[in-house]
Each structure stands twice: as structure tokens, then as C-alpha cells.
A and B are shown apart, each in its own frame.
Chain A
């Protein structure tokens, strides 16, 4: 069964590789087909809702939707745009996963604040392809459970996607093409599967694994969760207890898309003898319901159905994830569990964003740029007006009058501390590329091992983490990279304090902060140690560890 799959795959790839001219003349490859199909299918979709007219001043479509809902509040929100230093820090950490260098900070803060300046910064950062790719890859490695090994102690992984992710994001590959490459064996840009011999048995390691029932169901559940924002896992063994949308048969039909043959209904370990025909669980007007029997062709069709613009969950899931990434809360929550009976906080905005994303060729950078250029993204942090998410009431209204406080990831913290302390961060020093799992990394939320998929890092605080920050050798070593510049070693130490603030927090220090810092430095036994203590106090402050 496995050998047959492998042979068909090889045949498909060889056919594509060996006859490029013939293909161009006669037939499009799977990627070209997908893009063509997307264009056609979008044109068949209903027009998206228009952003409401709020006032002449509010032009950005996102702002129009958001301000539109503010009109339903009993009193108008007291909001304002964040200052340049706040925007600077947000843009850098959100787009390239590390704070700006001292030079970049000074340059940005030296000129007057204008919308054009901020838009130009966003463009500049999005153009830093390598850095952009590194930052995005950290999220997706977790979401795909990408691992550096094919097998650990007999437990097989789904493979290593790091390089494919980095390459794809550097090239700004369309998102639907990426998803198709994971699922469809005929996609030209697909990362080839690997073979692994585990105790004398040959396994194929790929994103779609179907050598046993549990692994097939796992494939389907992962795809459902990550790309369709739908948690179907529970329906693997029985009807989902509290989500009526997912009786077991519906999930098994979906899982059948990734299996080599129809799946038997086995409810709570009891076999029924009933086999469930594979079926795509969502209605796609205008798309064929027929599924090929051949496993490779079935996966090819499954990829088309999943990435179909008419698929109600596909585009919405990714734009919702982007929204959550930059605002801290999705338009729908939980982002991995969209439900028909839990409304989005801004349903028309979600529809509009999804349509806009598709219409722009599933270009992630386009939607990211759209979000970061909105005034909504640039609002000042205000704990009194920030939406409170209640897990028991995921449909409770949200207004986005303030961004959420977001915890920096382990990678963001470590990369930023290295940059702030030493003044440089070479690409190969990025934490993402570090194969080790150290105590500090784990304390800051980087998983020791990616055995399960995950779309969110833990953001809780724990004493173990605080001890590591307070006394751990790793952070000390990073801080030791810092040294006081010669010209600031003597004289008024307020300038040194300001330097520390600019290097670590990407802003200048207020007079009170400068005085407090100077007091501290003066009382320190030597200026180098005192400076590193100051850096520590800034690095281990909520202002650094959180993004506001």
C-alpha cells in the first residue's frame, strides 16, 4: 500500500519534471491550475459587504468597520493613536520578530510623526524578506509540528518543514499554494517526502500520513484545526459532545480524503462494520462533489476543495489568525474552533478581509500591510478599554478600542536581548535556528519538542520563569555582551540611561527615568556592572516582556 503510493507519487513527479515543454504547451501544472482556478472561483463569489461610511476622515476599510461598531456603544471610545516609539516597537516585533537597532530607533524617532512615515516603515520591514521569513516560520513550525528529526525513539514525526517555510516566506509564496503543497502530491513546489526505516518497517514521512488509522485521523484533525479553524478531534471516536456540527460520520468522511480507503466507523473502540464514504464536509457551490478513488488524485482534489475560495472556512481562518496575531484577539475566538453558533465580533469585516485576501492572490503580506496601516492597529494601549475575553462566552462583543497586551515569544526576547546588549544580531544567531532547548528558552515558552501541533505559545508567568530570568546563567551571559561606550563612561550618566532605554525599549527615557537610573549607576560599584544591572531591570520589566 505504501509502496504503491510512493510509486505513484514518483511517477507523478517524474512526469512533471521530464516533460516541461509538453506540459506548458498542453496542460498546466498543479500550481498553475490552482491559481487559475482561484481567479475563476473568486469571480463566482458574491460581492463582499461594503465597509460602512462612518465619517469623511475615516477612510481605511478596517477602520470603517471598527468605527462602525463603535457607534453602537453607549459612549464614544476615548482613543488615540500610539506614539512613534510604540509603533516602532510594535512594527519591528510584529513583522521581523526583533526590536530595532539603536540606529534604527534613533532614525525613526528623530523625524516628525506622520502616517506616511509609518507606512514606509511597514513597507521597509516587509521588504526584509529573510527576517520576515524567520519570524513567521517560528509560528508555522509550531502549527505544523515540524521537527528536526524524522523519528524519536520509535515515534514518527511528520517531517521537517523549516527550510520549506523559510523559502516560501522569503519568496512570499501565496498562502493557498503553500497549503496545497502540504497536501497535494502533484504540486511542483512540494517538499518531497522522506522514507524512514523504523525497526524494519518502511514509513513515508510527510505532512499527510496515513499508514494507520490513528495517524490518518491525526492528519485530518490537524488540517481541520490549522487550515480550517475547526476542532474536529473529539469526533474521531464519537459524535462531538458539545459541538453539534461534528457527528463522527462527518469527521470520518473528511478524514477519508486523506486515507487510502474509506474509514470504518469505530465508536468508542466498538467496530460497526459500517464504512463512511469520503466527503468534503462543506458545501462548495459550483465545485464538484465527486472524489477520485485513486489516493494521489484524491489528495489533489482535497487540496483544491480546501483552498477553494468558496470554502467558508479557508480564507476566514487565515485572516482571523492574522487579526489575532496583530491585535491579540481574533475576530472569532477561539481561532482554532470556529463555530456556526458563535458569531464573529465583526462578521462583515471578517467577510470583507477574507474576500480581499483571496482577491489579492492569497498574498499574506498584502493583508498584513492592510492591517498594520489601519488606525485600529495603531491605537494606544488602554487597559480600561481593552476587550476582556471570556472563554466561557467566546461570542461576547469585542470593540478593539485598544490592542491587547501580548507576551513576546522566547525567540523575540532572546533575539532582542542579544541585539540590545551586543549591538548586533547576525542571521545565524537567531534563536529559531538554535537546535538546542535550553532552560531559558523553555521558561519563556519555546516548546522542548513539537510532538503536537500548536497555534499559540503559552503566555503565563511562573516562578520557574522568574527564577530563570533573575538568576539564570543564560540571561547573564547575554547581558555580559553589553559594555558602556567610552564616551559615556564618565560624566553625566543620564545620557547613558537614555542610551539603555533606546537600546532595550526603543524609546527615550523621561527625566524621572533618567534621574532614577543615574542615581542607581552612581551608587553602583563599577559602571559596567551597574549598566548591565540597568539593562537587566529593563529587560525583565513588563514593558519589555510584553508588547503594548
Chain B
């Protein structure tokens, strides 16, 4: 049984090497269904995890996934185009970028102005400019975000797990008391049905609650459930837990013999232990870090200066990155930090694009670059993969009320029909699934590399080395030592971490 367990587990994690032995997918699936009982058992032993990773030689142990939803205008940021200043009456096709470009630490690589700090650390970074989606999401952010975070198009026929959950399940925690998948920066209050949908996109899908993200909405506010609830004390928590266990032992039924009862109590113990754990200590950055460091994670603009003073998460985001770094230092596996999404706000520029991009860049430039510097200084950058992503890029709108076009319509047009009469209409205001830029730092990615090129005029589709999302995800998984056809069985069939297990790592991106 022991040997069977080992090989069964490795079928699931190191699918690729098994595939070379089997003739086709059907045999693989027959093997997988025999192993499905094992999949149903949940997380694998530490030894099995290590065995799986050695087989595919991981380059990174942890991930900090910086999620900036809304659809970042790549022309003003990471894939800059010539600056075409506002002139009333200009055509949409004349808008190539709303800011100047600046040099970076990498020869020949330019970024949009406002990203000077980030530019200075790009010798650590990889820029991928040619991610293109065959499915055009049109106006629908939710589907695009679901796609980017899970690798599957909604509806996927079942609840697709997010990348964070896939990593958590496959690699497990690095430290026993540090949850493998942590999510920073998003409110837990999901009163809005749109936010409820998005909760699924970052969730564990069919993997179940064990792989759900550990949510930390606001790094500056600590985490409520790691502290005794308001109105109670730690002493009370301990007394309650002791009473629970005592009474449970006295119950006349045979319930204590049940494995579920054991697991339930064990989980309570883990929860209690977590309240004293490194996770808790990671929050104490105000005490541990220098004022200079903390200042470097602050946004460079205050809410009062913003066009929309009510949408501001700069401080939460910056401190979230600092917390993410500290969590990785304590042994976190996958930490996603979000600049909280809201439709039509932040990066989702449907109007006032120029000004809004200036505001957003001021909030991400300092913190992201400081994170990279800190990781490099601490010798963590090599084994920590940092990803910066948005769900799609942007293009000019073809009409003043951009974003209302049916799927795909806006993608290929060049903006000739749009006449920009006022400042409000000046900017990259249309969604563009055809080209998206991602940044990677550390974790086995080739530093100083720029991969892929987009056209200089609209439609700014990739003209060199276009890549798919499944291949991009496969590359990230490869860096972590996870085979792209790693699968978990549900409803009697395997579900792969990349679509149909067909993701292929882009070797050119990896060192």
C-alpha cells in the first residue's frame, strides 16, 4: 500500500514524466482514476511534495503575485509607446501613449514616466509584452479575471481552482503554521454579487476549504481572527478551548472515535497555534522595520489629491507588499497582493486616462520597487518569484462610452472614428484582450529580458513571440517545480492546472 501510495501520488504531480511512459491520455486517466482515492485524501506528505519538486527542479520556493486588476494601459507603463500629447479634436488613432517614456536599468528597455523607481530595479526583472488571449473579453472584467487567475474560461463546467490554491495544494506549506495561500488587500465583505463572483476566482474551487486563501484585507489593520474577538481576551480563548476539549471527552456518545471529530479538534489546535505564530509576528512591521523602509512602501500620493478621493487603496497596497515580504520570510508559499478592484476605478480607466494613470503609478511605483530591492538585499529574490499582472491591456475606445462593445468588437479597430474633444476623453479607455504585459522578478526568470513585441500603432497586437495564458501559467508553475499537467481528480476525471494539461513553459523566459 505504501509503494502504491508513492507512485499514485507522483502520477498526479509529475504527470509529464508518467506521460512519457503511457501511450495516450486515456491510459493516464485510467491510472488517475485508480489514484483518485489518493487525490481525495488531500494534501500529500512533505516527502512526497519534495519528491515531486525534485523531479522537475524548482527554481523558486515562494510566489508574491501582485494583482493589479482593471486592465492596465500597457502604453503608459510597461510597454510604452511614443507620447502623443492631448490636442482637442485629435483622433483616437493618434493616441499612442499619454506620457513620456523613461530609460530603465536595462539598456534599450523603456517604461512609462512615473515608474522611475521600478525602472531602476528592472535589471532584476523580465518583461513579457505579448500575452494574447484568443477569447476577447470585451467589457467583461469578471470573466477575464477568472481566466487570468484560474487559467480556465468561465463557465468551466466546475469550480476551477485559482493558481494560489493549485500551488498550495501541490507544494503544500513551507512552514506548518503559515498558511500556504495568503491573500492580502481585498475586503472580505462580499455584499456585492460581483465581488462574490470574484471571490470564486481567487478561491479553491473544487479543491475545498483546505486550499482557500487566508484572507488579510488590510495589512495596516492586522488580522481580526488572529486576535481574540473584540470583547474577549486571550485568556478567555484558552479557557474556552480547554473547556471544549474537556467536555468533548465527557460526551457519552462514541463521537470522539470518529476521524471527523479528531480532525475538527486538530484544526482548532492549529488555529490556536497560529495566533502565536510567525504569521502573527509578520504583522508587527511597525516595530521591526525601520521608518525609512516603511516610508518606501507608502504611496506617493494622498487621497485628497485624487480625482476620485473615495477610491484609494495605495496605503493598504504598499503595506500589503511589505507584509507579503515578511510572510515569505516566515515561510509563506503563495501570497497574492491586490490593489482592490472596483469597476471603472483605478486602472480601469474609461475616462481621464492620463490623469488616472499618473495617480495609479504613484501608488505602485515605490512599493513594488522597494519589495524587489528588499528581496534582493536579503538574498531572497532568487528563490522568490514576483509576478505583476492585470487581466488584460488597453486600447483606444472607438466611441466615447467605451466598454459597451460586444465581445471582440473593439479589439481590432484603430480609433479612427473617435474624435477626442476634451481632456476627459484622452487616454487608453478600451479593453484589449489581444495584448497584455506581465512582469516577473526572481524565481528563475531571466533578469533583464524583454520578450515579445507589440505593434506601434493601433491595434497594438503582438507582432513578435505571442504567448498564450496556459503557456504563461506553465512557465510560472515550471519555476515552482510543478508540471503543467499536474492534475487533481474531480467528478471522476482529472482537472489540470493548465487547460487540458497542455500548457508548455516558455523556456526563453527562464534562466
A-to-B contact residues, CB < 8 Å: 86, 147-149, 152-155, 199-201, 214, 218, 221, 231, 233-234, 236, 241-243, 334, 336-337, 381-384, 390-393, 405, 407, 435-439, 442-443, 445, 448-449, 451-452, 458-473, 475-476, 480, 510, 512-513, 516-517, 520, 524, 529, 533-534, 536-538, 540-543, 545-546, 548
Contacts and interface: CB of A to CB of B under 8 A. Distances in A.
A381 B196 contact: no
Given A383-B257, A451-B197, A471-B228, A543 B267 contact: no
Contacts of B33: 242, 392
Contacts of A540: 240, 244, 268
A155 B193 CA distance: 11
Interface of B: 25-26, 29-30, 33-34, 36-37, 40, 138-143, 154-155, 157-159, 179, 188-191, 193-194, 196-197, 199-200, 203, 208-210, 212, 214-215, 224-232, 236-237, 239-241, 243-244, 246-248, 250-258, 260-261, 263-265, 267-268, 270-272, 274-275, 343, 404-406, 491-493
Contacts of A542: 248, 255-256, 258, 260-261, 264-265
B105 to A, nearest CB: 38
A277 to B, nearest CB: 24
Contacts of B228: 471
A470 B241 contact: yes
A142 B186 CA distance: 26
Contact of A155 (B34, B142, B191, B404): B142
A533 B236 contact: yes
What 5 A-B pairs are tightest by C-beta distance, nearest first?
A392-B37, A154-B140, A153-B142, A449-B196, A466-B271
B240 A537 contact: yes
Contact of B255 (A147, A233, A236, A381): A381
A529 B142 contact: no
B236 A537 contact: no
Contacts of B140: 153-155
Nearest to A439: B188
Contacts of A221: 157
A337 to B, nearest CB: 6
B273 to A, nearest CB: 9
B243 A471 contact: no
A466 to B, nearest CB: 4
A407 B208 CA distance: 15
A442 B209 CA distance: 9
B255 A546 contact: yes
B139, B196, B404, B406: which has the most chain A beta carbons within 10 Å? B196
Given A153-B197, A542-B260, 19 more contacts: A147-B193, A154-B140, A214-B155, A233-B157, A233-B158, A337-B492, A383-B257, A391-B40, A449-B190, A460-B209, A462-B209, A463-B179, A466-B271, A467-B226, A470-B225, A470-B240, A536-B240, A543-B255, A546-B258
A545 B264 contact: yes
25 contacts: A147-B193, A152-B197, A153-B143, A199-B404, A231-B491, A241-B493, A381-B255, A383-B254, A391-B36, A445-B209, A448-B197, A452-B158, A458-B208, A462-B209, A462-B212, A463-B270, A464-B209, A465-B267, A467-B226, A470-B268, A471-B225, A473-B224, A473-B229, A476-B229, A533-B243
B250 A437 contact: no
A386 to B, nearest CB: 8
B177 to A, nearest CB: 9
B29 A471 contact: no
Contact of A451 (B155, B225, B252, B404): B155
A476 B232 contact: yes
A155, A437, A470: which has the most chain B beta carbons within 10 Å? A470
Given A153-B194, A233-B157, A516-B250, A546 B230 contact: no
A541 B243 CA distance: 10
A384 B191 CA distance: 44
Contacts of A391: 36-37, 40
B208 A384 contact: no
Contacts of A153: 140-143, 194, 197, 343
Nearest to A449: B196
A473 B155 CA distance: 34
Given A152-B194, A529-B236, A542-B265, A463 B492 contact: no
Contacts of B158: 233, 452
Contacts of A469: 268, 271
B351 to A, nearest CB: 18
B13 to A, nearest CB: 18
B154 A516 contact: no
Contacts of B155: 155, 214, 218, 451-452
Contacts of B405: 199
Contacts of B271: 463, 466-467, 469-470
B193 A461 contact: no
Nearest to B42: A460
A234 B493 contact: yes
Nearest to A145: B155
A392 B34 contact: yes
Contacts of A382: 254
A16 B484 CA distance: 57
A36 to B, nearest CB: 37
B137 to A, nearest CB: 8
Contact of B254 (A381, A392, A462): A381
A467 B491 CA distance: 30
A48 B34 CA distance: 35
Nearest to A221: B157
A470 to B, nearest CB: 5
Contacts of B229: 471-473, 475-476
Nearest to A465: B209
A437 B199 CA distance: 10
A462 B143 contact: no
A405 B260 contact: yes
A402 to B, nearest CB: 9
Given A458-B208, A471-B227, A471-B228, A516 B246 contact: yes
B138 to A, nearest CB: 8
B376 to A, nearest CB: 32
B239 A152 contact: no
A465 B270 CA distance: 11
Contacts of A476: 229-232
A155 B493 contact: no
Contact of A472 (B25, B200, B224): B224
